[in-house]
Structure 1
Amino acid sequence: MKKGRNLLVVVLGIALVVLLMVGNARGWWSFSPAGAPPTAPAANGTLAPEGDAASGEIGEITASEDPAVPADAGEAWVDYVHDGDTLFLTDGRKVRLLGIDTPEVGEHAECYGDVARERLRTLLPAGTHVRTVADVQPLDRYGRSLLFLFTDDGALVNLGLIRDGYAEAVVLEPNVLWADRLEAAEDTAQTASLGMWGAC
């Protein structure tokens, strides 16, 4: 009888340790002390305090280096994010972000795909107002709107995803607007091993 209880205690202890490890890895709970800064995805796909440069953390995208929002930019609201480079707008349009490609998710998942999707979901939660800019070719062969998206503070989402290592630059003619900026941002992210460039 005593052996049975001891075995039960050992099994429960192991189960608890596994649950804590899995839950922590998936972000189910946080063990940060009270008053600690919020967390954000780090360059290696783990969580790190925002603003902690030593951790390799990737900060919020900003408009400081981004092109100005064109005067004729459209406006829309985000419905939901499908993956790191595809989302739906409340007007029913399915959008493929121009000039970028992120790793795949789902059945053909690739390294950093889930992290890139979560990053875009963080940047553009449902209901977010965005400014939209098309290039020469407005739709792809699947009928998706090909767009650049700006946040209300003027940050170009497409460029920010590349700059922080969540996406690579993919410029396909005739859509070459801001191609130099996109490609330069990728070079910088690769050199610094940011995001997927350091994790995959």
Structure 2
Amino acid sequence: MKTARTILGVVFAVVLLVILVVAAERGLLGSPADGTGPSGLPAASASPAPGADDEDAPGRATPTVPADAEVAYVRYVHDGDTLFLTDDRKVRLLGIDTPEVGEHAECWGDVARDRLRELLPEGTRVRTVADVQPYDRYGRSLLFLFTDDGALVNLDLIRDGYAEAVVLKPNVLWSDELEAAEDAARAER
């Protein structure tokens, strides 16, 4: 019986190793060692990339906060693209997708969630901007979020390699900026 468990354990380890090798060869895994984030895009670093301060560089333009943006406060970050506001809205960040956490967890999901928690700690004041479609099929508010310093959180997650640009019509506000940021992040890879 003990021999059967040992053999089963070895088989399991070999299968897991094969899966990891195949995933790595296909570029599905990024790592701190190779400088990539959860989406395989370059991860944020302590030193800015050349031209990072150049707003005219491809993928570096940041939209400005619209005058009609509403003020809200972060209550809790669920994952890398979903959070709750203190006014009881559940928010799905527009224009991005991050790996899942929880029951259907994906690689790097916890890392993307932790990054959003760093960007938006509980109690953080944000400015919310909706697009054409205000809610998704799950009743979540579809929003762009700006911080007090004018940073578009959705865009920063892409630039830092924690999210991919996903544009779903009719919500196309700032889609060019999101896609350019992803292209620039991949080019820096």
Normalising by structure 1, we get a TM-score of: 0.66
Q: CA deviation at 1:191?
A: 2.1
What is the aligned length? 145
- Residues 142-193 of structure 1: CA deviation (Å, up to 9, x unaligned): 0000000000000000000011110000001100000000001111112223
1:112 paired to 2:101: no
Aligned twin of 2:132: 136
User: Residue in 2 aligned with 1:28?
Assistant: none
1:148 alignment partner AA: F
Greater RCO (Cα-Cα under 8 Å, separation 6 or more): 2
- Classify 1:137/1:125 alpha carbon distance in 2 versus 1 (closer, same or farther; 3 Å): same
Q: Which residue number in structure 1 is paired with residue 158 of structure 2?
A: 162
Quote the offset at 1:49 in angstroms.
10
Counterpart for residue 51 of structure 1: 46
Q: What aligned pairs does 1:167-178 form with structure 2 within 5 A after superposition?
A: 167-178=163-174
Task: Give the percent of matched residue pairs that are identical in Structure 1 and Structure 2.
Answer: 76
**What's the offset of the Cα at 1:109?**
1.6
Deviations 1:13-70 (A, max 9, x none): xxxxxxxxxxxxxxxxxxxxxxxxxxxx95446xx9962469xxxx9xx9x7311100
Find runs of 4+ consecutive structure 1 residues off by over 3 angstroms: 41-45
Unmatched segments (≥5 aa) in structure 1: 1-40, 194-200
CA distance in 2, matches of 1:143, 1:118: 24
* Structure 1 residues 186 and 76, CA gap change in structure 2 (3 angstroms): same
Map 1:11-50 to 2 at 5 A. Answer: 43-44=35-36
TM superposition shift of 1:107? 2.1
Q: Which residue identity lines up with residue 166 of structure 1 in the other structure? A: Y
C-alpha distance in 1, partners of 2:44/2:127? 29
* Distance change (3 Å), C-alpha of 1:190 and 1:88: same
What is aligned with 1:73? 69
Larger Rg: 1 or 2?
1
Q: 1:173 to 1:86 in 2, by over 3 A?
A: same
Alignment RMSD (CA, Å): 2.6
